[in-house]
Amino acid sequence: DKVHAPVVILGTGLAGYGVAREFRKHDTETPLILITSDDGRSYSKPMLSTGYTKDTSADDLAQLDAGSMGQQLRASVWTMTRVTEIDTAAQVIKVGDAQTAIHYSKLVLALGAQVIQPPIGGDGAELVYSVNNLLDYDDFRTAMKKNNVRKVCIIGGGLIGCEFTNDLLNGGFEVEVVDPLGHCLPTLLPEAAGKAVQAALEEKGATFHFGPLVTEVNKAEQGVVVSLNNGATITADLVVSAVGVRPRIDLAKASGIETNRGIVTNRLLETSAPNVYALGDCAEVDGHVLVYVAPLMAAARALGQTLAGEPTPVVYPPMPVTIKTPACPVVVAPAMGGVEGAWQIEADGHNVRAEFRDAGGMLLGFALTGEATRAKLELQKALPAILP
């Protein structure tokens, strides 16, 4: 029956394991099941883009395997198991071939985000990698070795593209980056700050192509040839695609749960279906899609209490994001979508202090590079909370 049925969490990333841990602080008795389509090893996803700097293999990054996580959480962890259907009326999920059905008392969707696949032609797709989980990371590292890679072409100059650029340069590789927009981290930084990151990475040896789109990747005698829509070509041994991620909403949508950019929730992390919750990269919490670690930790703390019977709304303080480009450190606190304001910028070489303020002078966001990152705490204190 529904009351004695387990709490079920879909996903064992930082959000899934995080909420399981928080739940167990308040409830040690209720049966708990975690289900994941990967191998269930726990790891810190941000470390996937520092692997050459820190010389870490996938096994180095894996903290505990699924069995040990299950023991620690007094939970059953089902690995390599894809959930294909949620019957929100009967409170049942179906896994794999849909032969197995599990009743839940409460269900948590912690399904993460999926990489956006740009429409790229050519016959070189097998040498195009995206790195969004530990298994991808293992494949990527293996391919780098096996193909004797010396030069990598990165598609996308955003957060993940720039972090991989810096990391691969640190690893001694040659790197060329293509982005259709005008500067590094174009959706997060004003131009002056993006140009500072670009200059610092160029000094370390990177080459950037801003403006064009990649149209094709084709096999060459050695590695691949990457074609751009401005007629230029880039030769490389391997390609990393890093054009961004989008919340994984398909399963929720197909199950009749309300979705928008992400799986829609209120501040209690409740979705439109009774006893179904969402958090992490897959969720749109009170209008906010924030695909970073700090928001999912805040959500996990609140939801852990809610699942244990103490309804607790999530609070999002200001949460600046640190971008792991040590050639030019970056801290950015994007302004909330839709707010009106203007950038005020002070620039001195790689050090850029950019403050986004409204007409009344109120600070709404900021972007800091180089030594200007020292102002992080001071500015963070002046920012309004995202969800007070």
Measured from the CB atom, the residue of 169 and 296 that comes closer to ligand FAD is 296
37 binds ligand FAD, rule: CB under 6 A: yes
Min separation Cβ 99 and ligand FAD, Å:
15
Instruction: Select the residue interacting with ligand FAD from 7, 243, 269, 291 (CB under 6 A).
Output: 291
In this chain, which residue has its C-beta nearest to ligand FAD? Answer: 13
Write the CA distances from 54 to 24, 27, 49, 139, 232, integer angstroms: 33, 38, 10, 18, 34
Residue type (1 letter), 126:
E
Q: Side chain identity at 59, as an amino acid letter?
A: D
How far apart CA 14 and CA 42 sit, in angstroms, is 8
Q: Per-residue x/- mask for ligand FAD, residues 64 to 103, rule CB under 6 A?
A: ------------------xx--------------------
Residue type, 113: A
Q: How far is the CB of 177 from ligand FAD (least distance, A)?
A: 15
Minimum CB distance to ligand FAD smaller for 225 or for 314 = 314
Q: How far apart, in whole angstroms, are the C-alpha atoms of residue 178 and residue 174? A: 14
The answer to whether 162 and 240 are in contact (CB under 8 A) is: no
For ligand FAD, the binding residues in 256-285 under the rule CB under 6 A are: 280-281
SS3 379: helix
Q: Choose between 225 and 383: whose C-beta lies nearer to ligand FAD.
A: 383
Which of 110, 185, 189, 364: binder of ligand FAD (CB under 6 A)?
A: 110
Instruction: Please report, to the nearest 10 degrees, the dihedral formed by the alpha carbons of residues 12, 18, 23, 24 taken in order.
Output: 90
CB of 119 to ligand FAD, least distance (A): 21
**Phi then psi dihedrals of residue 236, to 5 deg:** -155, 165
Stretch that binds ligand FAD, among 148-156, 171-179, 286-294, 349-357 (CB under 6 A): 286-294
Residue from 2, 31, 46, 256 touching ligand FAD (CB under 6 A): that is 46
Site for ligand FAD, residues 320 to 339, rule: CB under 6 A: 321, 324
- Long-range contacts, stretch 116-119, CB < 8 angstroms, 24+ apart: 116/243, 116/244, 116/245, 116/246, 117/241, 118/155, 118/213, 118/214, 118/241, 118/243
Nearer to ligand FAD, 80 or 362 (CB): 80
Determine, following the binding rule CB under 6 A, whether residue 251 of this chain makes contact with ligand FAD: yes
Does position 161 bind ligand FAD by CB under 6 A?
no
From the CB of 232, what's the least distance to ligand FAD, in Å? 27
Map tokens 């593209």 to a residue: 161
| β 100-103/233-236 pair status | unpaired
Q: Does residue 38 touch ligand FAD according to CB under 6 A?
A: yes
Euclidean distance between CA atoms 245 and 131, whole angstroms: 11
Neighbouring C-alpha atoms within 13 Å toward the C-beta of 105: 15
Site map (CB under 6 A) of ligand FAD, residues 120-149, x = contact: -----------xx-----------------
Which CB sits closer to ligand FAD, 64 or 321?
A: 321
Q: Which of 16, 70, 180, 190 binds ligand FAD (CB under 6 A)?
A: 16
**Closest Cα partner for 133 from 219, 253, 304, 248?**
248
Kindly give, in sequence order, each residue whose CB lies less than 8 Å from that of residue 64, ignoring residues fewer than 6 positions away: 41, 42, 72
Name which of 291 and 314 has its Cβ closer to ligand FAD: 291
Q: Could you tell me the two tokens for 90?
A: 């009967």
Query: Which residues are near ligand FAD by CB under 6 A?
Result: 10-16, 35-38, 45-46, 48-49, 82-83, 110-112, 131-132, 160, 163, 248, 251, 280-281, 291-294, 296, 321, 324
